[in-house]
Amino acid sequence: MGPVGLTTHSGGFDPQREDPHKHLKEFHVVYFTMRPQGIPKDYIKMKAFPFSFDGAAKDWLYLQRVLFNTWGDMKHIFLEKFFPASKTATIKKEIYGIRQQSGETLHEYWERFNKLCATCPHHQISEQLLIQYFYKGLSMMDKSMIDAASRGALMDKTLAIARHLISNMASNTQQFGIKGPSQSWMVNEIGAASNLRLENQLSKLTSLVRQLAVG
């Protein structure tokens, strides 16, 4: 039994049911609530971290023959074991090719995108590329709405402004209940005969969108 309150959830970390990056974040939260004074913080982390393990993770730790010299070493080997390079590559591939799903609202798509990026904090993809991948994966309708709000220059804006604009629009579409395009809508709207109607619909949305973007 480890120190009281040290496990980050019932039973401690088990790779079968928890993301290792999330576990590290929760461990830091618990650590800062119980950190004794006058003792080096890395020493405490190294001594306390094993008590937050369970199942296969605990078995793996006890089988280690190499002693961890620093907290950085322990954290690195932990992530190397439970978040291997192959998993990082898979998530990066998902980020590169992310697409807004049929019926998915802008808010839902933005939230899913941010959660995906958060599952791999060390993806090493620049913020500019992240915004580009998100924008590229937008549905035609939501892309047009963002183009209208940014006056067709989203990628010319600073990263902070671009992210704020998207976040603000996503929040407002959730508040006003603006739904994402359904598969039938997208199929019916494709083709030269419907382009004019689509343009008319989008032009009517433009004033609303600009209000949402700055609201």
Verdict on whether the full-model pTM lies above 0.85:
no
Task: Between 85 and 187, name the one with better pLDDT.
Answer: 85
Q: 91: phi > 0 → left, psi -120 to 50 → alpha, else beta; which? A: alpha
**pLDDT given for residue 208 in this prediction:** 58
Mark whether 164 and 143 lie in a shared domain.
yes
Mark whether 31 and 112 lie in a shared domain.
no
The radius of gyration of the chain's CA atoms, rounded to the nearest angstrom, is 23
Mark whether 69 and 128 lie in a shared domain.
no
Q: How far is residue 81's CA from residue 126's CA, in Å, rounded to a whole number? A: 25
Is residue 113 within 8 A of residue 127, CB to CB? The reply is no
Q: Which domain holds residue 78?
A: 20-82
Give me the number of domains the chain comprises: 2
> pLDDT at residue 35 above 90?
no
42 contact partners, CB below 8 Å, separation of at least 6: 70, 71, 72
Whether 192 is covered by a domain: the verdict is no
- pLDDT, average across residues 54-72: 82
Is residue 6 within 8 A of residue 26, CB to CB? The reply is no
Whether 193 is covered by a domain: the verdict is no
